[in-house]
């Protein structure tokens, strides 16, 4: 009972209370067994009820399972800075006679990325998130890092990227997180990023194409292309092409392209129904910031669908995802009119944490971890 009280789980069922000299333990794969210290023996069945039990659910947020030098499993609560050999999930065990669960909705619009990933162990997984120094990208990167993944924040502004790394490490000092330079408005920078990443000789399990600009005045990049089109679509397109071989070698792997519902309010075809390339990178006279953004998001979806068709047979799947109506990001910073509109709309939209769940949920699909059901 002292151990239960230490773990905050002292509310127990009297039927399952163990006789004196007995202790309840768990295996690495979640099965409960019982140790009799008086007779120095162990058994799977509860000494009073005769039932076999297993752990239900995932470890609470902030808890981590580790193994000591003797092979004994113990649990670390990083939030409250305490260690115990008692599994904090023991209060939620179930009998080894499971019935078919009823269908129910697991997540809703307020679910956060941390809740989606709770209990998942992404140790050994490598994740790249573009535009990860703030907003949705930061929430996504932080969530994966706090669950064991090696996360690379691919950002244009290295000062802000390093600050984001420090914020994540401040929450968990053992997080594997780093920043690398990536400017999607410069195709040479995309090429250099891909070369630098490949030089690390690591796998790539998740690539989140998140970075974007919105409401920019008309301008051309160094590559001679309209900036919104290149940053939101073409830069990511080129990045995926350069890293395609690594993704395939790392299969099962996943590309997540952050798009938007605004893709519905535009077209990239001419009056005859053929693709009009002039609409993708328009001249200054034909430019409207909102349409440029919408067209880039439509390109995101078309690209994601075609990428999935081509690479899914090789174990690389692709999803385009709409993060919801989010007004707390800084994507609108380019024009004061949009900043005002976004500020007025904030009370009716989502905060930053729930949208990150969409990227997280997509990244869990197709069981990137063999033992994680979706």
- Set 33, 238, 293, 338: catalytic member: 293
Given a contact cutoff of 8 angstroms between Cβ atoms, the answer to whether 37 and 22 are in contact is yes
Question: What's the residue count for the chain?
Answer: 374
Q: Among this protein's residues, is 293 annotated catalytic?
A: yes
Which residues lie across from 254 on neighbouring strands? 206, 317
Distance linking the first and last C-alpha atoms of the chain:
35
Per-residue b/e over 26-39, b at no fewer than 16 CB within 10 Å? beeebebbbeeeee
User: At residue 298, what are phi and psi to the nearest 5 degrees?
Assistant: -65, -40
Q: Are the beta carbons of 256 and 236 closer than 8 angstroms?
A: no
Indicate the DSSP class of residue 17: P
Tell me whether residue 316 is exposed, middle or buried, using C-beta atoms within 10 angstroms of its C-beta: 0 to 12, 13 to 18, 19 or more: buried
Other beta carbons within 10 Å of 25? 16
The four Cα atoms 262, 266, 268, 269 give a dihedral, to 10 degrees, of: 140
What stretches of the chain show up as alpha helix (H) in DSSP?
2-6, 113-116, 135-145, 158-171, 187-198, 227-229, 235-249, 277-280, 289-311, 336-345, 356-364
Q: How far apart, in whole angstroms, are the C-alpha atoms of residue 347 and residue 344?
A: 7
CA distance 246 to 253: 9
Q: Is the peptide bond before 85 cis (omega within 30 degrees of 0)?
A: no
Burial degree of 251 (CB within 10 A; 0-12, 13-18, 19+)? middle
The catalytic residues are 293
């Amino acid at each position: 009972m002292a151990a239960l009280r230490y773990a905050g789980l002292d509310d127990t069922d009297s039927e399952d209370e163990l006789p004196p000299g007995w202790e309840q333990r768990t295996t690495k794969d979640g099965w409960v067994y019982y140790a009799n210290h008086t007779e120095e023996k162990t058994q799977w069945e509860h000494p009073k009820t005769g039932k076999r039990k297993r752990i239900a659910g995932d470890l609470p947020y902030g808890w981590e399972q580790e193994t000591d030098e003797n092979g004994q499993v113990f649990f670390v609560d990083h939030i409250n800075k305490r260690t115990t050999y008692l599994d904090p999930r023991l209060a939620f065990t179930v009998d080894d006679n499971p019935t078919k669960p009823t269908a129910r909705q697991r997540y809703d619009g307020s679910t956060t990325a941390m809740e989606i990933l709770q209990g998942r162990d992404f140790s050994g997984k490598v994740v790249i998130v573009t535009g990860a120094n703030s907003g949705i990208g930061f929430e996504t990167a932080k969530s994966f890092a706090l669950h064991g993944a090696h996360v690379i924040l691919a950002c244009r502004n290295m000062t802000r990227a390093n600050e984001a790394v420090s914020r994540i490490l401040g929450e968990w000092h053992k997080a594997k997180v780093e920043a690398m330079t990536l400017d999607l408005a410069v195709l040479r920078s995309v090429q250099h990023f891909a070369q630098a990443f490949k030089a690390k000789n690591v796998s790539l399990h998740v690539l989140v194409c998140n970075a974007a600009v919105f409401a920019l005045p008309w301008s051309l990049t160094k590559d001679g292309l309209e900036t919104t089109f290149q940053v939101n679509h073409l830069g990511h397109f080129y990045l995926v092409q350069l890293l395609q071989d690594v993704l395939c070698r790392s299969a099962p792997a996943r590309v997540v392209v952050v798009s938007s519902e605004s893709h519905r309010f535009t077209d990239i075809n001419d009056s005859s129904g053929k693709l009009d390339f002039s609409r993708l990178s328009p001249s200054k006279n034909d430019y409207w910031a909102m349409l440029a953004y919408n067209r880039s998001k439509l390109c995101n979806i078309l690209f994601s669908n075609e990428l999935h068709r081509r690479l899914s047979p090789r174990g690389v799947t692709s999803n385009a995802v709409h993060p919801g109506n989010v007004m707390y990001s800084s994507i609108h910073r380019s024009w004061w009119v949009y900043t005002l509109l976004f500020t007025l709309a904030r009370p009716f939209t989502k905060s930053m944490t729930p949208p990150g769940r969409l990227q997280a949920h997509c990244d869990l699909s197709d069981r990137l971890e063999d033992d994680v059901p979706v």
